[in-house]
Amino acid sequence: MAEAKHEIDRLTDMLNDYAYHYYVLDQPKVSDAEYDMLLKELIALEEANPELKREDSPSERVGGQPLEHFSKVQHDTPMLSLSNAFNEDDLRDFDRRVNQNLGHEATYSCELKIDGLAVTLKYEEGRFVLGATRGDGTTGEDITSNLKTIPSIPLRLKEPVTIEVRGEAFMPKRSFTRLNDAREKNGEALFANPRNAAAGSLRQLDPKIAAKRNLDIYIYSVGSILDRQIPSHHEALEYVNKLGFKTNDQHKHCKNIDEVIDYCNSWLSKRADLPYDIDGIVIKVDSLADQQELGFTAKSPRWATAFKFPAEEVVTTLRDIELSIGRTGVVTPTAILDPVSVAGTTVQRASLHNEDLIREKDIKLGDKVTIKKAGDIIPEVVNVLVEHRTGAERDFSMPTECPSCVSELVRIEGEVALRCVNPKCPAQIVEGLIHFVSRNAMNIDGLGERVIKQLFENELIEDVADLYKLEREELLKLERMGEKSVDNLLKAIDTSKDNSLEKLLFGLGIRYVGSKAAKTLAQHFETIDKLQVANREELEAIDEIGEKMADSIATYFEMPEVTELIEELKDLGVNTSYKGPKPVAVTESSSYLFGKTIVLTGTMEEMSRGDAKTEIEARGGNVTGSVSKKTDLLIAGEKAGSKLTKAQDLNIEVWDEARFLQELEK
């Protein structure tokens, strides 16, 4: 027994030290294999002697039992937000206010503003006892069991101090990409960005999920420390670092605002190379005595501000404008650019949307243009640098004929787009085929744009039914098609025959029928035979199917060639029935939100207002725009204004975001 205790203690200390070197210092001491072996040894000993297992055992990191719900945590000191500075002037204003209030010149600690989610961690005599989210700033949620799975959060500190620290939990870019790749393969919804992924992971009731998500943390401030005088913020960071916490080593102590501005500017370009996302720089008055003197406004400290990055813009040359024909015949002009790196990726094309936009921006071929990524994702031409024109630039005019089939392009009334209306247009057919095999449609692996084009050019496919008639021998004759890839391709095509009806419906590319409507139709009619004979009234009677869509569906199925195609698909063995679960009727008992009239106001941290609306409606609630006596519930995010006051006046129930999220978890 004594021996087991000794061994468990020894292994626990050793593994914690290895993990500290690996995750906090980024200086591994042993190989992964050796670490895993020792951990296995420890787990075996702990299983044999559960009473000897230590609270700070590394085996705690795998995630304990799932919770029923998160309990609320009242913050001892509120978790505030920061005021913003968007440019140099804002920064100088901030500096002026600070110096005026203090009566002397402050020095600043500058740090990266990590784009994750704020958490607070409490330690008693060196033991990690509580970890919570920010919530509404006053009340957060106890997510201790999820936070324990983050390997860079120490379970026991190097000194037995009682301390509260705050930091940003985040998901590194690489882990995010890997997670989304895996989710895409499994057909799961993708996370929009690393911040959402981190927040989503820490909001799971089952800590085993968080444990698998490769989360990390940087500690950026010390709440309360007992019995210790620390003069400055940068020394506080050094101190927590010594206790075993991970702090970000890019912080800098700046003597004056000029140095602060240089620091901010230097990160405008360097940020792309960081292995994690940042959305700005946090500037804090360094002296803690100065901080205390400056104090807080209702929402944020007067001693700090956040410099927010502008969307990165770069200049490049627009070489050409290429036209592409979409599945529905719409002609879209695309700018072909000299390759240039923007916000972390190389951009060589940017959609110009339509002819009007080209005219509005006065774009000519050969122009120098400014590019940015809208929402940091989709490349966009911001403007033309007219002053850089040499005279060699050429005007661009949209063609009058389809670049693919040479039939005349038409401008449909009320639309900005030019359209090719030839149903036999090869470009449209190819786009339709690409759509048919895409992920949300028939999801045929190995059949991307390139292979579809190859098959089409070699006259092996003309319509979607032809995909199911492809023969091994023919495919083997094609370039870059080996035995193995042909076999895999045929297998994937064959597997797609079993798809549930909604995938086929979406794949057919009926105008206005997206994947969501396809699902609704499949659930409602269950077979394509019943859908085919449905008339406009029957279609319109379905929730979510409007007049335009009903008309489009009916028109589609009235076409004799469509009837023929569907018969052909059936003969080829393609399933045309719905296979998923029947939709569950939302009933009174399923959610508190059922039947309630709900107003959303303020900004939410974790979801957009649109998503919140969808979630409420899925639970039978009704979202309206303004607060009145008929309102049952107000959900108030941050910076809620007059709607909140009005709701309070009318004695209407008010929830914060955390309470709302809790309801959604149910």
Cβ 107 vs Cβ 36: under 8 Å: no
Residue list 358-417, contact with ligand IVH (CB under 6 A): none
Instruction: Count CB atoms within 10 A of the CB of residue 338.
Output: 13
Q: Pick between residue 379 and residue 637 the one whose CB is nearest to ligand IVH.
A: 637
Contacts 24+ apart (CB under 8 A), 139-142: 139/72, 139/73, 139/74, 139/75, 139/656, 139/658, 140/72, 140/73, 140/75, 140/79, 140/658, 141/70, 141/71, 141/72, 141/73, 141/658, 141/662, 142/70, 142/71, 142/72, 142/73
Least distance between ligand IVH and beta carbon 203 (Å): 16
Q: Pick between residue 219 and residue 425 the one whose CB is nearest to ligand IVH.
A: 219
Q: How far is CA 269 from CA 313, 504, 603, in A?
A: 10, 45, 29
Least distance between ligand IVH and beta carbon 84 (Å): 8
Q: Pick between residue 221 and residue 316 the one whose CB is nearest to ligand IVH.
A: 221
Q: Pick between residue 78 and residue 426 the one whose CB is nearest to ligand IVH.
A: 78
Binder of ligand IVH out of 24, 42, 80, 623 (CB under 6 A): 80
Least distance between ligand IVH and beta carbon 111 (Å): 4
With CB under 6 A as the contact rule, which of the stretches 75-83, 92-100, 354-362, 455-463 interacts with ligand IVH? 75-83
Cβ 234 vs Cβ 173: under 8 Å: no
Q: How far is CA 113 from CA 256, 287, 497, 589, in A?
A: 19, 20, 49, 43
Q: Pick between residue 150 and residue 304 the one whose CB is nearest to ligand IVH.
A: 304
Residue list 305-364, contact with ligand IVH (CB under 6 A): 306
Least distance between ligand IVH and beta carbon 80 (Å): 4
Binding mask 10-49 for ligand IVH (x = CB under 6 A): ----------------------------------------
Binder of ligand IVH out of 39, 42, 82, 288 (CB under 6 A): 82
With CB under 6 A as the contact rule, which of the stretches 52-60, 74-82, 90-98, 449-457 interacts with ligand IVH? 74-82
Q: Is 118 in the site for ligand IVH (CB under 6 A)?
A: yes
Strand segments, DSSP code E, in 343-495 are 345-351, 368-374, 378-384, 409-411, 418-420
Structure tokens at 627: 């607060």
Least distance between ligand IVH and beta carbon 74 (Å): 17
Which amino acid appears at position 188 of this protein? E
Closest residue to ligand IVH using C-beta atoms: 118
Instruction: Count CB atoms within 10 A of the CB of residue 423.
Output: 10
Q: Pick between residue 225 and residue 306 the one whose CB is nearest to ligand IVH.
A: 306
Structure tokens at 131: 């970890």
Contacts 24+ apart (CB under 8 A), 35-38: 38/11, 38/14
Binder of ligand IVH out of 223, 301, 426, 620 (CB under 6 A): 301
Catalytic annotation present for 113 = yes
In whole angstroms, what is the distance from residue 248 CA to residue 241 CA? Answer: 9
Q: Pick between residue 113 and residue 372 the one whose CB is nearest to ligand IVH.
A: 113
Instruction: Answer left, alpha or beta for residue 26, where phi above 0 means left and psi between -120 and 50 means alpha.
Output: left
With CB under 6 A as the contact rule, which of the stretches 109-117, 201-209, 395-403, 640-648 interacts with ligand IVH? 109-117
Q: Is 98 in the site for ligand IVH (CB under 6 A)?
A: no
Residue 550 CB contacts under 8 Å (≥ 6 apart), including other chains: 536, 539, 540
Instruction: Answer left, alpha or beta for residue 329, where phi above 0 means left and psi between -120 and 50 means alpha.
Output: left
Residue list 181-220, contact with ligand IVH (CB under 6 A): 220
Cβ 93 vs Cβ 260: under 8 Å: no
Q: Pick between residue 510 and residue 640 the one whose CB is nearest to ligand IVH.
A: 640
Least distance between ligand IVH and beta carbon 260 (Å): 14
Q: Which of 53, 113, 255, 477 is catalytic?
A: 113
With CB under 6 A as the contact rule, which of the stretches 80-88, 435-443, 447-455, 497-505 interacts with ligand IVH? 80-88
Query: Total number of residues binding ligand IVH (CB under 6 A)?
Result: 14
Q: Is 164 in the site for ligand IVH (CB under 6 A)?
A: no
Residue list 220-259, contact with ligand IVH (CB under 6 A): 220-221
Q: Pick between residue 307 and residue 396 the one whose CB is nearest to ligand IVH.
A: 307
Least distance between ligand IVH and beta carbon 606 (Å): 12
Give the distance, in angstroms, between the CA of residue 453 and the centroid of all CA atoms in the same chain. 31
Binder of ligand IVH out of 54, 113, 213, 234 (CB under 6 A): 113
Q: Pick between residue 83 and residue 370 the one whose CB is nearest to ligand IVH.
A: 83
Q: How far is CA 183 from CA 69, 176, 178, 191, 293, in A?
A: 25, 10, 9, 9, 49
Residue list 483-522, contact with ligand IVH (CB under 6 A): none
Least distance between ligand IVH and beta carbon 112 (Å): 6
Q: Pick between residue 301 and residue 344 the one whose CB is nearest to ligand IVH.
A: 301
In whole angstroms, what is the distance from residue 217 CA to residue 240 CA? Answer: 13
Structure tokens at 617: 């409606």
Binder of ligand IVH out of 282, 347, 554, 635 (CB under 6 A): 282
Question: Running DSSP on this structure, what letter comes out for residue 328?
Answer: T
Exposure b/e, 86-99, CB count within 10 A at least 16 = b = eeeeebeebbeebe
| Sign for the pseudo-dihedral over CA of 528, 529, 535, 538 | negative
Cβ 73 vs Cβ 160: under 8 Å: no
With CB under 6 A as the contact rule, which of the stretches 107-115, 186-194, 476-484, 638-646 interacts with ligand IVH? 107-115
Residue 102 CB contacts under 8 Å (≥ 6 apart), including other chains: 290, 293, 294
Q: Which residues pair with 371 in a beta bridge?
A: 314, 381
Binder of ligand IVH out of 8, 114, 451, 612 (CB under 6 A): 114
Least distance between ligand IVH and beta carbon 207 (Å): 21
Binder of ligand IVH out of 59, 81, 454, 485 (CB under 6 A): 81
Residue list 535-574, contact with ligand IVH (CB under 6 A): none
In terms of Cβ atoms closer than 10 Å to its own Cβ (0-12, 13-18, 19+), residue 259 is middle
Q: Which residues pair with 73 in a beta bridge?
A: 140
Which spans of this chain sit near ligand IVH (rule: CB under 6 A)?
Answer: 80-82, 111, 113-114, 118, 168, 220-221, 282, 301, 304, 306
- What are the catalytic residues? 113
